[in-house]
Amino acid sequence: MNRKCIVLAACLLTAAQAFSQDLKLWYAAPADPAVWTDALPIGNGRMGGMVFGGVRRDRIQFNEETLWSGAPRDYNRQGAYRYLPQIRQLLFDGKQKEAEELAEKRFMGAQSPAGDREAWLRRVRALKGLNGNPALPGYNDDAWKEMPVPAYEGWETAGFEGLDGAVWFRTTFNLPGSWNGKDLVLDLNRIRELDFTYVNGKLIGSTNSPDPRKYIVPATALVKGRNVIAIQVINYFDKGGIAGYKDTTRHIGIYPGTDPKQAISLVKPWKYLVQDSDPPAIARYQADYQPFGDLTLNFPGHEKEERYRRELDLERAIVTTSYTAGGVGYRREYFASQPGDALVVHLAADQPGKISFRASLGSPHRGATVTRIDAHTIALSLNVKHGALKGVSHLRVKLNGGKITASGNELVISGANEATLYLTAATNFRSYRDVSANANEISRIALEKITARSYETVKQAHVQDYQRYFNTFSIRLGTDTASATPTNLRLLSFSKRPDPSFAALYVQYGRYLLISSSRPGTQAANLQGIWNDLLAPPWGSKYTTNVNLEMNYWPAEVLNLSPMHEPLFNLTEDLVKTGTETAKQYYNAPGWVLHHNTDLWRGTAPINASNHGIWVSGAAWLSHHFWEHYLFTQDETFLRARAYPVMRSAARFYNSFLVKDPKTGWLVSTPSNSPENGGLVAGPAMDHQLIRDLFKNTIEASKILETDAKFRDSLQKKMPMIAPNQVGRAGQLQEWLEDKDDTASTHRHVSHLWGVFPGNEINWDESAKLMHAARQSLLFRGDEGTGWSLAWKINYWARFKDGAHAFNLLKMLLRPARSIGGSYLNLFDAHPPFQIDGNFGGAAGIAEMLVQSQMSYIDLLPALPPEIPDGEIKGLCARGGFVVNLSWKKGKLVSTEVFSKAGNKCILKYGSQVQDFSTEKGKSYITNW
């Protein structure tokens, strides 16, 4: 202890002041209209928008947090617990396949009701709705339109978003004379999902599986010269169409014998006709987050723009587009106002009367309608297909000068000096059990309130509201020498010429995204935050609870955004209710359980498939977030009223659920899996780490609250009986109960290292042997991975105190997205496709390199990368109720300032140096090193 270095500051630590770094993402060109991840995100927690910044045509794609598919329902298979003993015994007997088959049949969740697929298929196969038979070569298809084939990621990517049903395709090829009399191979590879393929009217094949389509065309079906290929594609849900090869250099085609080198390529526009776009509902385990609509602005005469710039200002949460066209300077501002509960677009010019444009609303939802409300206002109404939710959005334009008329789905503005557009949206969702809200009234009232104020008043309120969160933290890493370079070029060069200031920008971008997608009173951030443009988004854009949902909230406490954690707590408290019923029906157990996914309707039962959907540790992981919030804030009222009830109920479940392994005598978690790796098993290491963490924290909380002594004792007795972490034959931390890790596996999930991060069971101070084993496991897995996997690995290497390795992974995370993890041009994380968890996990990982507080002390610069020799942070939070400012130069710590929120004893550690001192609540302490 060195008390000479401790000085009691006379003033309190206030909100962090921003450094001189230019906190902007900016680009010298509009977003590519076909690339959604080029657009810049705005959000107020409830509504989100993606701004493309086009000159002649600008698109703002928008979302509302409660627009999902599905409806309130019971997700549980009643009485599933009756099969639990049999599944467990099969696993104990080493009969994994049989256990998975039984679980698939008897232990998965209940699906939503399905329509009559067979009756619908009979109708479309009988050519209902068509004149004639499109399979026949003489069929007249002159009026048909064309579609590019293949559509490699489904016809949705070729402009047919939301198209499901029965679609006919036709094309022709000329038979070479040398092929006469030969059987041919028609190689179509992937078709989603069922096809009936004809050549000259003869059915040559039909497949209803992911298997490649290689059909033999008999010589008797062919004619000299022109031959007609006709395919009826049946798609019930999600991606549809002729998808071809993932390797786009390989063409679908037709060829003789076994030599595809002779193939006639069929990669070209095919004619198509939609026969029936209303297939029956399919059974679904859980719901999908839905896009709401598009606000489109068309600007006639804006040609040959100059001095174009598109930027996102992280300090003000405003996107700006500016350019010159026809000698006039134009400027647009876009933001999502939380106080105004709306998206706002402001258009201005440097000359009067130059604002002329058309504004329209649209939606990918079939049957959506736009109506005129008055001369300044139009409204969009929609229903989610096969779902309970309806949405209404209002658009109003306020002008300074000029004229406006409403025509159909458009507002036409001419000759204005300025124009401001206000966009509101709402659904009939009240809660996961209640869909009785009046969407039209909610949207209309929000519109009336915000349009009663001036644009400048609305903008000022937005900035002030946003900055009360954003300005609690600031970070400077190195010297900002690259802010004059467009963000896309900085991304391109970061891995080759690391720019520390770009890493700092990335941290602040992560904070911006969390504030924009998760505000107090809103839904939690999902797999894509609050941004989504697809009716069938990747993984449903749900809440995946075996890492992704939790990773979204890793920055919340440490990066001084504790209020943003609130939506996760609200979500969890709903899940306690639904998960209590799941615990009863599946495990005949008290407490609550959550498997690996949930959605707006708070499903908690196993979904998808038994080899990965039966994972039981979601309740333990979400409970960890409640405890972390307490550790950072020291809020005992929160601990008593909210955290402890959730933690205690989860602990009750696992206290009942754990069973004795007949071979080892340890208590194990079964049936379960190590997330998405290795199938259904007994005793995955991750489960045990999570359960021990939950028991430990629940015990500690009960001591603090002086309650539940008997229950606390039962957990204390059980903890040593749980299967421990084990070191395997290759020096690795075992992922399973048995020593069967594949050291050549590069699987993206490294879940068995949870005890390193975000847990703390495995650490250098208390369990160095296990820490070495965990490090070896990560070395075996390798550095490469999807975006979120790279982000998790950054945090692991920071906990291993290897800053150089952590920064190398950051360079991989901040590289242009291709077929592997990285970042898109707007810095959205790429799984690929887009998942926002990597943004949040990466931001938290940078903080973890600089300050760690999982032990009894605050570790300063524990994993400082050599690439960041100089830096300064203000407002970083540490467990124990502390806020830390620190600066360093040439790789050496210079000074720290610690603000005490709770008056706890503070221990600071820097290398081998330790300073400890008592604190008073509300005071700051400066230390020099």
Please give the pLDDT value at position 203: 98
Please give the pLDDT value at position 10: 37
Q: pLDDT at residue 919 above 50?
A: yes
Please give the pLDDT value at position 19: 57
Rg of the chain taking only CA atoms, in angstroms: 29
Percent of the chain with pLDDT over 90: 93
CA dist., res. 802 & res. 478, Å (int)? 19
Task: Say whether domain 38-69+287-471 belongs to CATH 2.70.98.50.
Answer: yes
* Side-chain-facing half-sphere of 710: CA atoms under 13 Å: 0
Q: Look at 151-160, 318-327, 413-422 and tell me which has the smallest mean pLDDT.
A: 151-160
CA dist., res. 766 & res. 760, Å (int)? 10
Q: Look at 51-65, 150-164, 844-858 and tell me which has the smallest mean pLDDT.
A: 150-164
**What SS3 class is residue 158?**
helix
What average pLDDT does the structure give for the chain?
95
Peptide linkage before 833 cis (omega within 30 of 0): yes
**What SS3 class is residue 266?**
coil
Q: pLDDT tier at 21 (50, 70, 90 boundaries)? A: confident
The per-residue pLDDT for range 529-585, each reduced to its tens digit, is 999 999 999 999 999 999 999 999 999 999 999 999 999 999 999 999 999 999 999
Percent of the chain with pLDDT over 70: 98
Please give the pLDDT value at position 260: 86
The per-residue pLDDT for range 744-760, each reduced to its tens digit, is 999 999 999 999 999 99
Q: Strands of 6-8's sheet, edge to edge?
A: 6-8, 924-928, 892-900, 882-889, 871-878, 474-477
Q: Where does residue 520 fall: left (phi above 0), alpha (psi -120 to 50 degrees), or beta otherwise?
A: beta
Please give the pLDDT value at position 20: 59
Q: Is residue 320 within 8 Å of residue 333, measured between CB atoms? A: yes
Beta strands in 428-528 (DSSP E): 474-477
| DSSP one-letter code for 1 | -
Burial class (CB in 10 A: 0-12, 13-18, 19+), 260: middle
The per-residue pLDDT for range 631-654, each reduced to its tens digit, is 999 999 999 999 999 999 999 999
CA dist., res. 40 & res. 336, Å (int)? 12
Please give the pLDDT value at position 415: 97
Would the CA dihedral through 36, 37, 41, 44 be positive or negative? positive
Mean pLDDT score, 114-118: 96
**What SS3 class is residue 116?**
coil
Q: Give ranges for CATH 1.50.10.10 in the chain.
A: 76-109+534-724
Q: pLDDT at residue 702 above 80?
A: yes
The per-residue pLDDT for range 201-251, each reduced to its tens digit, is 999 999 998 889 999 999 999 999 999 999 999 999 999 999 999 888 899
Please give the pLDDT value at position 257: 83
Distance in angstroms between the alpha carbons of the first and the last residue of the chain: 12
Token pair recorded at residue 869: 């020799």
Report the candidate in 811, 789, 913 with the shortest Cα–Cα distance to residue 862.
913
Mean pLDDT score, 358-367: 96
CA separation, residue 603 to residues 343, 527, 551, 595 (Å)? 30, 16, 20, 9
The per-residue pLDDT for range 649-665, each reduced to its tens digit, is 999 999 999 999 999 99
Q: Is residue 273 within 8 Å of residue 144, measured between CB atoms? A: yes
CATH class of the 117-276 domain in this structure: mainly beta
What are the b/e assignments for 611-650, b being 16+ CB within 10 Å? Answer: bbbbbbbbbbbbbbbbbbbbbbbbbeeebeebbbebbbbb
Q: Give me the residue label for tokens 């306020």.
A: 398
CA separation, residue 457 to residues 339, 392, 664, 668 (Å)? 11, 26, 68, 59
Residue 286's H or E segment, with its range, is: none
Q: pLDDT tier at 497 (50, 70, 90 boundaries)? A: confident
Please give the pLDDT value at position 11: 41
Q: pLDDT at residue 4 above 50?
A: no
Q: Flag whether the pTM goes above 0.85.
A: yes
CA separation, residue 851 to residues 677, 808, 860, 884 (Å)? 32, 18, 5, 9
Phi, psi (deg, nearest 5) at residue 898: -120, 125
Q: Is residue 476 within 8 Å of residue 871, measured between CB atoms? A: yes
CB atoms within 10 A of CB 328: 15
Q: pLDDT at residue 740 above 50?
A: yes
Q: Give ranges for CATH 2.60.120.260 in the chain.
A: 117-276
Q: Is residue 319 within 8 Å of residue 308, measured between CB atoms? A: no
Q: pLDDT at residue 18 above 90?
A: no
Task: Say whether domain 76-109+534-724 belongs to CATH 3.40.50.1860.
Answer: no
Q: Give ranges for CATH 2.70.98.50 in the chain.
A: 38-69+287-471
Q: Is residue 481 within 8 Å of residue 501, measured between CB atoms? A: yes
Secondary structure of 641-677 as H, E, C letters: HHHHHHHHHHHHHHHHHCEECCCCCCEECCCEEECCE
Please give the pLDDT value at position 481: 83
Please give the pLDDT value at position 209: 86
Q: pLDDT at residue 879 above 50?
A: yes
Q: Is residue 237 within 8 Å of residue 160, measured between CB atoms? A: no
Report the candidate in 231, 267, 252, 208 with the shortest Cα–Cα distance to residue 135.
231
Q: pLDDT at residue 525 above 80?
A: yes
Report the candidate in 144, 146, 167 with the shortest Cα–Cα distance to residue 239.
167
Please give the pLDDT value at position 14: 43
Residue 513's H or E segment, with its range, is: helix 500-517
Report the candidate in 359, 352, 295 with the shortest Cα–Cα distance to residue 329.
352
Q: Strands of 403-407's sheet, edge to edge?
A: 40-43, 47-51, 57-64, 293-298, 355-362, 410-416, 403-407
Report the candidate in 572, 697, 689 with the shortest Cα–Cα distance to residue 644.
697
**What SS3 class is residue 502?**
helix
- Length of the chain as a residue count: 929
Mean pLDDT score, 340-354: 98
Q: pLDDT at residue 143 above 90?
A: yes
Please give the pLDDT value at position 286: 98
Mean pLDDT score, 704-733: 97
Please give the pLDDT value at position 819: 82
CA dist., res. 591 & res. 711, Å (int)? 13
* Side-chain-facing half-sphere of 13: CA atoms under 13 Å: 29
Burial class (CB in 10 A: 0-12, 13-18, 19+), 394: buried
Q: 858-860 and 906-910 as β-strands: parallel, antiparallel, unpaired?
A: parallel
**What SS3 class is residue 637?**
helix
The per-residue pLDDT for range 757-771, each reduced to its tens digit, is 999 999 999 999 999
Phi, psi (deg, nearest 5) at residue 411: -110, 130
Q: pLDDT tier at 261 (50, 70, 90 boundaries)? A: confident
